[in-house]
Each structure stands twice: as structure tokens, then as C-alpha cells.
Amino acid sequence: MSSLELKIIDILESNLLAIRSTSQDDLYAEHGRDVLLKKVQTFMQENRPIELLVPAFPCKSPNLKKVCGKLPDGGELYALEYLNEICREISFLYEHGCKLVVWSDGRVFGDLIGVPEVDIATYEHLLKYYSMTMTHIQWDSMNNYVGTGNGESLMKIYGTPTFAFDQWLLESESNREQFVHLRKFMEDDLGNSAKYKDLSRRQLKSQMSLIAEQMITRNEALTNLLKQHYPKHIRLSIHQHPNSGEKFTIRFFKDSGGRSVLRTPWQNVLVISVEGSLDLMPYRKLHLQSQHVPIMFKNQIWCFVQLPQNSPVSVASTIKLSLLGESPRFGLSIDLSKKIDVFQLDVAWMKMLLEKFGLVVLRRCQNSLDKDNYSQFCEQFSPPVMWKFGSLLSIKPQLTPDSSHTSLDSMPLHFDLSFPPEYLFKTGSYNDYVPQYFMLYSVKAPPEHGNGKTTFVNGRLLLESLEEKDILHWKTIDVSSSMPLSYYGGKTYVYPMIMSHPKTNENIFRYLEISNNVIHPVESKCSINSVEMDTETFQKFNSIMKQTMRDPKWYMEHTWNDDDLVIVENHLLLHGRTAITEETERELWRIQVY
């Protein structure tokens, strides 16, 4: 057994398959591990990707005591991201990569639980849209095998003619337990629905027994379909199995513990804990008046976040959280409704949100800030960067600007303190002189037509969209940049396009956009493995990067309002500015903290 094979097995065991420890009858160590290893070895011997298959992500439960609606939300998105990252981790080790087929099985069972096909189709369509940047996720469903038919059509084509449910039920105690568990699950899921809520306990049990029987029979046909069309894939399952080799039970979140490990995002809501861990809970178990606050995205509840224990009682009922822009993982607005002071917000909690979303906008604070209390607020996060003028920079356009900050021109995409003056250079290490956060407070917002929007690029999402070979290639590219006419001093700085985050060690995107602005010129050169690109090649490369960085999946423009307080994770994001019209009055206060 090679060390690479062991590393791949270890990734699967420590992430996807760790749920086996919750089962007393688990056979993974006795049989399953050998089966898994042989499958991995076969893929490697044939120089093929490691191929995984999971039937999952059918549709939202119709039980609104468990979920908040019909559409996929943060639970599904972060579950897919978790699965994609595991495949990516394997792909960095194994040159042929790893792919996961998600077989969306909503149409197999949807009619049995009363979910209309249009809701199933919308659910699947949105999941594909949200997972566009996840390069290891592939989709399949019944649409490709039985056309417009339902689960009955599936059984006619793929069902075993000799399969008899009553005989199956008597074959083993495990089968009987599976049936009883499924029946009870359906009682909980459908018992309070309009169709069944008036039934007696006995009648409900009888109806749910029929549904459970039909689901097991259809699942037998689905198993036949998957064996026929995916004979070599490693079969994963969201249900508890003995893990003897035919199927391997998985979990969706590594942080999940205890009973939550078998929960699925389409039967629960996502909760982000105070520490930032992800968990799944039934909606009815949340404490909405004291502990859990919804995060909205496009008029739907996307997930919930837990408030710190020391939060004032008024915060839970007053604060309003919503996601900004087109990406549900980029940018968070916290509306304080003119009732909550910024000093009532827990700093560790805000840092956790910044790690998750990269950008937090505090809006409608109870009181406007002056320079002293704004500085005090920012310095709660970390010691400030001390320029010769102090920590606070007033950014206000002038007709005769003395720097890029006072210019009316647009500002190219960059990260803060990418061109430090000599006295802030410290040891010369990126980790020492580049601040983790910077804050912008809107003293005077420009009118909407006056532009002056701050632009942001989420490097985490951009990098997620790349294949591993592109990631590895970008890591060999160094960008040498200078600002010869700037008060920064004109020194050239060299940054790899992909670096490691100083705190989390994740990949971060560091690219300084070229600019021909007189006030903010940025001159750059690129080298690959220390060999400089020729001018024509670099110009083409820069043109591609300019377009790539402005893809709406990870690009956003922030329109300012008075008293907006924007906090930015400087290692995760790039930022810039749109041009400002001459008549516009716009004033921002900036403070950077390490």
C-alpha cells in the first residue's frame, strides 16, 4: 500500500466517514476499509479520478417546523462546499483528481411526501446555480433516465420484478428496523400536514407504513439504476449503514457532533455558532427571541447565527442580518435599526462573521460616531497601523488631489498596505506589515448618481472556482508592482498571486491591478518560476485578470449610506473604487488594524 493511497483513505475517514464511530454495529474496520482501499487502488491503477456518488439533496421537507421554506439555503450550500473541499484536498495529492456525483433524488420520492415537481425542479436548479464555482461537484437526476416519469416509472424500468416488500421485511432484523425508523420519520415529517393532521394515531401509522413501504421499494429500483450506470463509483449514503463496503455513511459538517451528525440540510436549518462552527437543527428547536438570529438572502431565511451570551436582550429582537450582492457567501449587512450602539456588538463575534463572509457592513447605528469613539471601536479589534498622520485617514475628494485617496479617479483593485512606506515595512514580511482588517466609516455618503462606490473581490470564491492545476500554476507566479508617483515612495514590491493566510493558512489571492491613472499609477511585471513574462504575454494576462476579478460571483460594488461602518478582512478581499463625479461630496474615515 502506497503512502498516497493511505493519505487519500485518511482524508475520507477523517472527514466523510467519521460518522461510523456513532454506530455500534459498524463493520468498517472489519470489512469496509478493505473494500474502500481496493476501489481507490483501482482508480489509481487506471489513472482515473477518484469517483464518489451520493444520492442526496432531493427537496426541502414540507414540514415547516423543521425548515423555513421550499428553496435551498445555507445548509445545502455549505454542505456542498464541505464535500467539494474534501474532493479538492484529495485532488491536490492525486494528479487525476476526485469528483463527486450528487444524484438529486427528489423526483423519486417527491409525490409520496406531497412536494410538487415544480418545487423539486426549482430546488435542483438553484443548487446547481449556487454550486457553479465548486469544480468537483457534478449533478445527475432521474430526468436523464425516465424523462418526465415519476417514481412509478423508475420502478417499471429499473425495479427487480421478483422484489417483494413483505419478504424483504422478514429477511433481517436490520431491514425491519429500517422500515420502523422510516415510518416514524415520516410520521414526524408529515403528521401535521393538512392531508394527515386529522387522522387518528392508528390511521396515521397505517398511512405512513404504506409510504415507507413505497419508499423502500422505489429505493431498491434506484439502487439498481445507480449500480448499472455508476458501477465503479464509491457509493456514499446519508443514512446509517454498517459500512461493510457497499455503502458508506457520510456526514456534511466536520464540526457537527453528537446526534446532529445524521441530520441533513433539507430536513433542518443551518446554524452558525458563536465560534463559527456549522450545525444543523430543526427550526422548531431554535431560540429566536434570545439566542438565534436569521440571516436573510433575497427575501428568504438563509441560515441562523448564534448570538454571544453577553449580548443585550434587545439585540436578538432588533438586529437584522442580510447577505449583500449576488453571492450568498460574500458580504454581510448588520442593520442596527437606530436602536443598538456599535459598542454593544461583541468583537470576537464580528471577527467570526468576517472570517465567514469577508466583509461586514454595520448600518443605521444608534449614534453617529466622532473620530475618538470611531478610533476606540476599531482598536477593539487589534492595534492600529500608525501612519505619520496617525491611525485615522480622512478620504475626501479634491479637485487638485495630493494622493490617490483624494482623487476623483477610479482606484484599481488592491489590498491595503500593499505599498508600505519604509517606516511601516517592519521586518519586510507580508505577515508583519499587512493589516488583517481595515474599517471605513461614512461621514458623508455620495448621492447614488455620484458614484464613489467601493468595489470588492472575494479571493476565496475566485480561487474556489479554479482547477487544482491552475491553483498550482498561480502559486508559481510572482507579481512585481510599484507606484512611482505615489507618496508611498516608489519602491517595488513582489507578491505571489497566491499566498497563505497568516492566521488560517488558507490560500489567499494577492493581485495588484495595473492602473494608468496619473494620481494612482500601478506598474507591474509578472514572472513564472522567476522567469519574467514578455510584455505581450503579460498584457494579455492582465486583461484576462481584469475581467476575471469582476465576475459577479465574487465581485461586488458597495453603495454608501451616511453612517455606514464597513469592516473588511484585508487578507481575503481585494478592493478598489469607482470614479467620483466632481460635484460629489464624499468623506470616509479609514483605520487599519493588524
The fraction of the chain above a pLDDT of 90, given in percent, is 69
Confidence (pLDDT) at 24: 66
Give the strands of the sheet with 531-532, arranged side by side: 493-496, 477-482, 523-528, 531-532
**371-593 topology per CATH:** Double-stranded beta-helix (3.60.130)
Confidence (pLDDT) at 255: 59
CATH architecture of 3-267: 3-Layer(aba) Sandwich (3.40)
Paired sense of beta strands 292-297 and 320-323, if any: parallel
Q: Which whole number is the average pLDDT over 263-275?
A: 95
pLDDT at 244 over 80: yes
305 or 583: which leads in pLDDT: 305
Residue 149 CB contacts under 8 Å (≥ 6 apart), including other chains: 142
Confidence (pLDDT) at 21: 56
Per DSSP, the chain holds a count of helices (H) and strands (E) of 17, 26
- Can you give the residue ranges of every domain in the chain? 3-267, 268-367, 371-593
- Evaluate whether 455 touches 413 at the Cβ level (below 8 Å): yes
64 or 405: which leads in pLDDT: 64
Confidence (pLDDT) at 259: 47
315 or 45: which leads in pLDDT: 45
Per-residue three-class SS string for 125-149: HHHHHHCCCCCCEEEEECHHHHCCC
CA-to-CA distance for 405 and 396, rounded, in angstroms? 7
Confidence (pLDDT) at 100: 98
Q: What is the mean pLDDT of the chain?
A: 90
- Evaluate whether 295 touches 321 at the Cβ level (below 8 Å): yes
3 state SS of 267: coil
Confidence (pLDDT) at 18: 62
**Cell numbers of 63, please?**
414540514
Q: Which whole number is the average pLDDT over 194-198?
A: 90
CA-to-CA distance for 420 and 85, rounded, in angstroms? 34
Q: Which whole number is the average pLDDT over 166-184?
A: 92
244 or 136: which leads in pLDDT: 136
**Cell numbers of 534, please?**
514578455
Its sign, for the CA torsion 347, 348, 350, 354, is: positive
CA-to-CA distance for 61 and 123, rounded, in angstroms? 11
77 or 25: which leads in pLDDT: 77
CA 594 to chain centre: 25
Confidence (pLDDT) at 262: 78
Of 269-283, 438-452, 495-509, the one with minimum mean pLDDT is 438-452
Length of the chain as a residue count: 594
- Evaluate whether 51 touches 43 at the Cβ level (below 8 Å): yes
The residue with cell 479571493 is 459
53 pLDDT band, cuts 50/70/90, is very high
DSSP string, 503-572: TT--EEE--PPPB--SSS-BEEEEEETTEEPPHHHHHHHHHHHHHHHT-TTTEEEEPP-TT-EEEEETTT
Kindly report, residue by residue over 409-429, the tens digit of the pLDDT: 889 999 999 988 888 988 889
Per-residue burial over 280-292, b if 16 or more Cβ lie within 10 Å, else e, is bbbbeebeeeebb
The residue with cell 476575471 is 548
